[in-house]
Structure 1
Amino acid sequence: MELKEFKNRNISEDYVVVQEDNYPKTNWDAFKQVLARSIKGELFVGMKITFGIMYRSLFKGEMATVQYPKEKLPIGPRYRAVHKLLRLLESGEERCIGCGLCEKICISNCIRMETRIDENSRKEVMQYTINMGRCIFCGYCAEVCPELAIVHGGRYENASEQRAHFSLKEDILTSADGLGMQLEFDGYGSVSPDADKKIKKTPLSY
């Protein structure tokens, strides 16, 4: 093949232009076309399908549309989205020990942490923020956490009108009331299989 033929993208000579019907040129031709198609029954066939779907939705409960946000489709068990800060099941305290590894490894530079030493000489996490507008959900923070304090949960709605709402600690921290519904993940620091027998109100060991 020569260079001239190679540059010619329209190399095939067998193209056939398909046009089912002539387009109407005047309003009268358009009206006649609509009238002809209506007489053929195309309009009524479409209305039959539409009213059939409407009947099944209203009277038989076969609604195909999900009424979001009141209804939500189930997501896969391996789905990882907005972060969650977990608590210890035994005491209800936060698992985060303020080591700062997640802040150091974050390649998007979106995690900020403020800590202090409390009256018991223990490091306490004062502020923990994640800028969801910068986060790329790589999962490095969850991988490096030695206490399984930060994980990716299943919540995927993170839209807001203000950027400040993307980084509130209260939104990702497991509430004390919802501790029984907290999902546990496998790994170092996770709950043992016989944890239900060992759960009791005990002080932290560190």
Structure 2
Amino acid sequence: MGLEQFKNRNVGTQNYKMLDLGESPKTGMDKFKQVVNRTFKLELLVGLGVTMREMINALFRGQMHTVKYPFEKLPISPRYRAIHDMLRLLESGHYRCIGCGLCEKICISNCITMDTRYDENQRKEVSEYTINFGRCIFCGYCAEVCPELAIVHGPRYETASEQRASFSLFEDMLTPIDKLNLQQEYDGFGAVSPNADENIKKTPLAY
């Protein structure tokens, strides 16, 4: 197909049906006549009948098309990514974040702030980590750049709160230690592979 044929919108096998909508009313009397004609054609009653039918089905026949949020929630896609989760190491339970600061540097909305320090074992740890969800646009750059897969986007999407401080608490995003076995892993660097046990080899005695 050439460029000229591609620009021609009538190319194809579609059979278009032209609707006779009549002329648009121009004067006030024409508009009044249109309202009178549509009233006597019972178009208004047909619309009200559809509304009454759906209301009766919902109230008395159990055909409810809505959910009672937040008591009922619709299922979301397993690929859905929303509020951030901070993952832990499965072996020790310590959080995976090494304080490299790449997520803070790549954040295009400037909503991530972190501060690090060295503990008694001279291990770099995160002393303060906040994400302002009021400014976050959920682009996913922080999760993509993380070398340890410490920060990911989880399925939690509720961000309503009475205080802005609760938008960015590190403890709320961190996996609870008692629910470590329920931690959901995502594909990426640092994730546990399905055949991790098979890839473990014995350390040779002689080098």
* TM > 0.5: yes
Alpha-carbon separation, structure 2, partners of 1:134 and 1:145: 20
Offset of 1:22 from its aligned partner?
Answer: 5.6
1:19-168 to 2 correspondence within 5 Å? 19=25, 45-46=46-47, 48-168=49-169
- Between 170-179 and 189-198, report the one with greater CA deviation: 189-198
Gaps of 5+ in 2: 1-21, 200-207
Alpha-carbon separation, structure 1, partners of 2:113 and 2:88: 19
**Letter of the aligned partner of 2:96 in structure 1?**
R
Alpha-carbon separation, structure 2, partners of 1:41 and 1:143: 58
Q: 1:134 to 1:45 in 2, by over 3 A?
A: closer
Tell me the SS of whatever aligns to 1:125: strand
Offset of 1:122 from its aligned partner?
Answer: 1.3
Alpha-carbon separation, structure 2, partners of 1:144 and 1:106: 10
TM-score (norm 2): 0.69
Q: How many residues are aligned here?
A: 174
**Letter of the aligned partner of 1:18 in structure 2?**
S
RMSD of Structure 2 on Structure 1 (CA): 3.1
Alpha-carbon separation, structure 1, partners of 2:159 and 2:64: 27
Q: 1:138 to 1:45 in 2, by over 3 A?
A: closer
TM-score (norm 1): 0.69
Alpha-carbon separation, structure 2, partners of 1:64 and 1:122: 54
1:166-181 to 2 correspondence within 5 Å? 166-181=167-182
Gaps of 5+ in 1: 1-15, 25-29, 199-206
Offset of 1:46 from its aligned partner?
Answer: 4.9
Alpha-carbon separation, structure 2, partners of 1:44 and 1:119: 77
Offset of 1:45 from its aligned partner?
Answer: 4.7
